[in-house]
Amino acid sequence: MNKPSILTPVKTYDGTVQVIEAGADELYCAVTVPNAVHVLNRPEECCVPSYGELSRITAYARAHGVPTIATLELPFVADFMAEQMEEHVRSLVDAGVDALIVGDVGQILMVRRMGLDIPLHASTFLGAMNPEAVAFLRDLGVVRVVLERHVTIPEIADMVAHADGVEIEVFAFGGGCSNINSNCYLTGKLVLYADDADAAKVQEEMRGVWKPCRFPYEVYDYDSGRRLARVPIMDGYAFCPLCDLPDLIMTGVDGLKIVDRCRPLAHQLAATRILREITDLVAGDDQPFDARKRAQFERLLEGYKDVVLEMTHPVPGSGAAPAPIRLRELACKDKRCYFSPFMHRPYALQGTPEKVAKP
Amino acid sequence: MKTIIQIDNLRLLDEALSSRCDGVRVGSEFCEHLLPSDAALERAYAAVRDAGKPFTYVTPRLSVEGMQRLGAQLALLETWGGATVVANDYGALNALKRHPGLTPHLGRHLVRLPDRSPWAEGLVHDKELTPKQQRWLTNLYGVTSLNYAPTLAFYRDSGVRRVDLDWAPRIFQALDALAEGGLSLAVLLQFVPSTMTRKCHTARFLGEESHARCSRPCQQRAFILKSEILKAAGLRLYLLGNAAYRQEPATAEGVAELAARGVSEVVAAMDALTRLKSAAQVDAFFGALGV
């Protein structure tokens, strides 16, 4: 059985030492692009602070047999920033990264035009959800494709089976995007500027929430103007992969990525240890995933379910403070599972909306 | 400047064809479950051709199953005599290489366009930024991912001659380079998609149980999303099916500017957001824009 790599995000040298100790097979990270404004991807605080720090990370990782992969951070390239991006890519390569994650056809072309012989991984920004899309990216020269996160295990198995030499990586822990990365423009820094905004109300609504896909929205019928509900209708809370991990690993997938570079080190360490333990159990030897292994897996699962996955978003006006939500509450009770059918129970963190009539 | 109507509901086909529009697009940009069956596609193809208009098939992001279905439909379209196919998935674009009788048209989901962000206006005027940063952001929100010469050359060399873009005035100037680069440009009017999902927000909100049994409420109903945060950003979002949009009303002056910049088509969707339901409404809509 193919044993997938566990990819853990890092932001610092100290974190690198700890996640490798916890069992990461590969590291991924980004460095702030000099003189760019990070509005289309993760904020700057989610990046390695300098190329110098990246050099320390790659040196330590390489000494421990762990590759470091850098995402280019900006999801595309245009003429006005091409020189800036080329310089950034050269700096990443000079800092010793082993591969680059690219988010756009133009970035692939740019790296190749630079004459750099470095492996390229296609980011979720390239939105691969079917074998034809994987083939398109393979023909462009990428060696690994990170699939769009909203795919089922049978779909992943199909893409692995038809990958034709390209490695397939999937998001396997954390991350709550409910939308398709490559088509989502909701992320980024919010600038609130309307003169008539009620600052107190805004502040209260934003408590514990910084992603627009988690905002509670007042939903109105477009034609009648009638108010229907107040719900976080985009429902961008985390999904859990754990119960499905054995089936996922048995698809033959090459990489399991822990999502979200912004999360604290404690989360990355916990996620790495969990994935390490399960991966080793399922694919660590030549034995099939039989009843004995299944029973052991179930015992491990019970222990993991108290991991804190999210913080609550209290209803405005309730006066409640954000509180930790454990995996068993968020994922198990509400069936928020990665790789599952797509009509999971919605809006658990805000209660269920009143019944809304279909047209 | 040609006027094009786009529909994902075939019950609107007769009205679309009765209008004075120059072309009709059939299919869906956003949801593979809205793609027609082979039989319905054949009927639509025949109706559009009988009306003397070119047939364009619009396709969305595609799952494994969706790609398999589309693969078969591409072969049918080629057999029937050819069509333009709007590809919003790299898989569809790849499959089109095997169908020289079909004309590939790059869909807007394959073109990164930062100005789709509802926050763009606030960001370029963010007082916390330095003038240099503001200039950089103004540049960023004024381009598309096609405004990189090697990308443009790649698509041209791959046989792509047409591309969809949004009505986003911040990028109008950047369209010059694309038109000069040999692309035929189509601009979709009125609503700019800020995000989309496979976990359909509308279907889940209305309690649909599965994609397979979805009653397609998006063909009849849309929603407005409001919040204090959006209000503070001077915004509201619109939800139609699995996509949330910001509104960007088209103007006659803007259409004239697009024409001057070499844009060849403007496209309006007949759907629950635009509220275009009849040929008369379509004609009045385009008439008000001077086309």
Identify any residues that bridge with A5 across adjacent strands, giving them in sequence order: A255
Calculate what percentage of chain A has a pLDDT beyond 70: 83
Res B229: pLDDT: 78
CB contacts of B95 in chain A (<8 Å) are 132
Distances (CA, A) of A117 to A42, A110, A112: 27, 12, 8
- The three-point CA angle B193-B199-B205 to 5° equals 90
Flag the least confident range among A180-184, A298-302, A335-339, B159-163. Answer: A335-339
Please indicate whether residue B224 or residue A192 has the higher confidence score (pLDDT): B224
DSSP conformational letter for A10: -
**If DSSP codes are grouped into helix, strand and coil, which group holds residue B188?**
strand
Predicted confidence (pLDDT) at residue B181 exceeds the cutoff of 90: yes
Res B190: pLDDT: 96
Res A289: pLDDT: 95
CB contacts of B73 in chain A (<8 Å) are none
Distances (CA, A) of B86 to A28, A57, A147, B25, B110: 35, 44, 22, 9, 10
Q: Check A39 against B137: CB less than 8 A apart.
A: yes
Res A41: pLDDT: 73
Q: Which of A72, A79, A162, A335 to mutate to test the interface with B (most CBs of B within 10 A)?
A: A79
Picking from A353, A344, A279, A93, the residue whose alpha carbon sits closest to that of residue B198 is A344
CB contacts of A130 in chain B (<8 Å) are 62-64, 66-67, 89, 91
Res A199: pLDDT: 62
Q: Which of A40, A80, A171 to mutate to test the interface with B (most CBs of B within 10 A)?
A: A80
**Count of H helices and E strands in chain B?**
12, 12
Is the CB of residue A114 less than 8 Å away from at least one CB of chain B? no
Number of domains forming the structure of chain B: 1
Res A314: pLDDT: 55
Mean per-residue pLDDT of chain B: 95
Mean pLDDT, to the nearest integer, of B56-82?
Answer: 97
Distances (CA, A) of B203 to A37, A154, A222, B210: 36, 23, 16, 8
What single-letter amino acid sits at B269? A
Per residue in A172-228, pLDDT tens? 987 777 889 899 998 766 555 555 556 666 655 555 555 778 777 899 999 999 999
Q: A217-221 and A227-231 as β-strands: parallel, antiparallel, unpaired? A: antiparallel
CA B11: distance to chain centroid?
20
Mean pLDDT, to the nearest integer, of B203-214?
Answer: 85
Q: What is the DSSP string of B257-283?
A: HHHHTTEEEEEEE-STTTT--SHHHHH
Picking from A274, A39, A208, the residue whose alpha carbon sits closest to that of residue B125 is A39
Predicted confidence (pLDDT) at residue A37 exceeds the cutoff of 90: no
Instruction: Say which CATH number the domain at B112 has.
Output: 3.20.20.70
Residue of A nearest to B228 (CA): A202
Q: What is the pTM of this model?
A: 0.94
Query: Domains of chain A, with CATH numbers?
Result: 5-182+237-294 (3.20.20.70)
Q: Cα distance from A287 to chain B (closest Cα, Å)? A: 30
Flag the least confident range among A31-35, A308-312, B152-156. Answer: A308-312
- The three-point CA angle B108-B256-B121 to 5° equals 55
What range does the domain containing B76 cover? 2-288
Is the CB of residue B37 less than 8 Å away from at least one CB of chain A? no
Per residue in A226-249, pLDDT tens? 999 888 888 877 778 889 999 999
Residue of B nearest to A130 (CA): B64
Q: Which of A217, A231, A340 to mutate to test the interface with B (most CBs of B within 10 A)?
A: A217
Confidence at A7, pLDDT banded by 50, 70, 90:
very high
Mean pLDDT, to the nearest integer, of A54-68?
Answer: 98
Phi-psi map region of B275: left, alpha, beta (phi>0 left; psi -120 to 50 alpha):
left
Of the candidates A76, A132, A228, the beta carbon closest to that of B91 is on: A132
Res A193: pLDDT: 52
Q: Within 10 A of A329 (CB to CB), how many other CB atoms are there?
A: 18
Res A107: pLDDT: 98
- Cβ proximity of A148 and A181 under 8 Å: yes
Res B31: pLDDT: 96
Q: Cα distance from B205 to chain A (closest Cα, Å)? A: 7
Per residue in A109-158, pLDDT tens? 999 999 999 999 999 999 999 999 999 999 999 999 999 988 999 999 99
**If DSSP codes are grouped into helix, strand and coil, which group holds residue B164?**
strand
Picking from A325, A163, A79, A154, the residue whose alpha carbon sits closest to that of residue A146 is A163
Instruction: Name the token pair of A217.
Output: 């929205």
- Cβ proximity of A1 and A283 under 8 Å: yes
Residue of B nearest to A218 (CA): B226
Distance CA B193, CA A102 (A): 23
Per residue in B21-38, pLDDT tens? 999 999 999 999 999 999
Q: Cα distance from B44 to chain A (closest Cα, Å)? A: 25
Confidence at B143, pLDDT banded by 50, 70, 90:
very high
